Amino acid sequence: MTTELLQQVRVIDPVSETDQIADVLITDGNIQAVASQITDISPDIQIRDCRGLVLGPGLVDLYSHASEPGFEERETISSLLQAAVAGGFTRISILPDTSPVIDHPALVAQLQRRGGERISRHNNLPQLNIWGAVTLEIAGKQLTELTDLAQAGVVGFSDGIPWENLGLVRRVLEYLQPMDKLIAFWPSDRQLATNGVMREGSDAIRLGLSPIPATAETSAIAALLELVAAIGNTHVHIMRVSTARSVDLIAAAKTAGLPITASTTWMHLLLDTKAIKSYHTSLHLAPPLGNPSDLAALRTAVRTGVIDAIAIDHAPYTYEEKVQAFAEAPPGAIGLELALPLLWQHLVETGEFTAGELWRSLSTRPAECLKQQPSVIAPHQKAELTLFDPQQNWKVERQNLYTLSSNTPWFGQQLQGRVVQIWC
């Protein structure tokens, strides 16, 4: 039996809405006690001085890209799980855009087995959630066997790409009603987006990059919300929200009682179009970074709960894939190991977010979006925890990353804040 005492750690628990300095006693993966001071200490207890450290519920990622099977040179299940540990995540959810696409129960079982093998060999790895594909081929027209995939244990359904066939969207919403399974959509009108690579506005004109109007997203969200209202009870998650007008539409839909949740990605909360002046290809994202007004609206929406959660959308690519012209490079960036330090540094340390607001949007609310029980820091609860040092300095370089890829605009830079340990 292993017992450890975390002394005088800053405990942030969004469920109980507490932010306090306390001692936390953990025995064999279970929380035994949380108190202002624990004095009854036996000689075999491992004591850790945690002054200056932050302890919160384990972080939960809504959606990221695994790359295995099919693109193992970018990432493997093993490296993905290790990167998640280093970033403080105790649950990670992978999208089905692998090769082959995760459109059959056998593929779900194969990935579950691979994840289980890693966890059996390495204690303390995150829970692996798997999204099932909605169509047999990405952007296809034939639905997968949704019931079979649901019985195989997928966390929900998503193709992770924009849909063009609203008739098929309506059918999926109808089919999923009796299953009580989540479906996630990335709303974007491809005809409006065309071949754009940057949010429409003055910065796009100045940089000479093809623009994507905000209406490419907002018109698709409006159409999706109309279908959700018509169908009724299917739980829909709106992925990758990136514009101020989208926030308004989602707020109105929630006020009307529609069964929706929404997320934005961590990079859309940190950067806007002005950052693209560097032409760094890791700033080529889908959807693109918003204008300054979009960024401000997204931050407010996360704080107020209009946007439920922050997703990482970890998208690894090889060096060769990203060393191209900005418009030619595939969109996406890594983030599992970087999100918490950078969000804490730029949102909490500046006073724009409270520590609880940020932690809630990275832990308990993503779990709730996935219809999972969020972890709680309380006696007699399982220890699903993240210990974070907001003052530790480190450099983003190859030897300090567990992910196999390095496509990030912060590569080579010094960061403040790093995860010390997770329990899961």
Give the residues across from 11 on adjacent strands. 20, 55
Tokens of residue 150, six digits = 């649901």
User: In the block, which residue shows the tokens 């009854």?
Assistant: 40
Q: Are strands 385-395 and 54-57 parallel, antiparallel or unpaired?
A: antiparallel
Tokens of residue 232, six digits = 């009724």
Q: Please state, as a whole number, how many other Cβ atoms lie within 10 Å of the Cβ of residue 65.
A: 23
**Exposure b/e, 7-25, CB count within 10 A at least 16 = b:** bbbbbbbbeeeebeebbbb
Rounded to an integer, what distance in angstroms lies between the CA atom of residue 274 and that of residue 271? 8
Q: For the chain, what is the radius of gyration of the CA atoms? A: 21
Phi, psi of 130 (to 5 degrees): -125, 125
Rounded to an integer, what distance in angstroms lies between the CA atom of residue 285 and that of residue 269? 13
Q: Reduce the DSSP state of residue 76 to 3 states and report it.
A: coil
Tokens of residue 20, six digits = 């306090």
Rounded to an integer, what distance in angstroms lies between the CA atom of residue 389 and that of residue 55? 9
Q: Please state, as a whole number, how many other Cβ atoms lie within 10 Å of the Cβ of residue 67.
A: 27
Active-site pick, 61, 203, 308, 313: 313
Give the residues across from 64 on adjacent strands. 94
* 313 is a catalytic site residue: yes
Tokens of residue 119, six digits = 């966890």
| One-letter amino acid for residue 141 of the chain | K
C-alpha separations of 228 from 117, 199, 248, 368 in Å: 39, 27, 17, 19
Catalytic residue list: 313
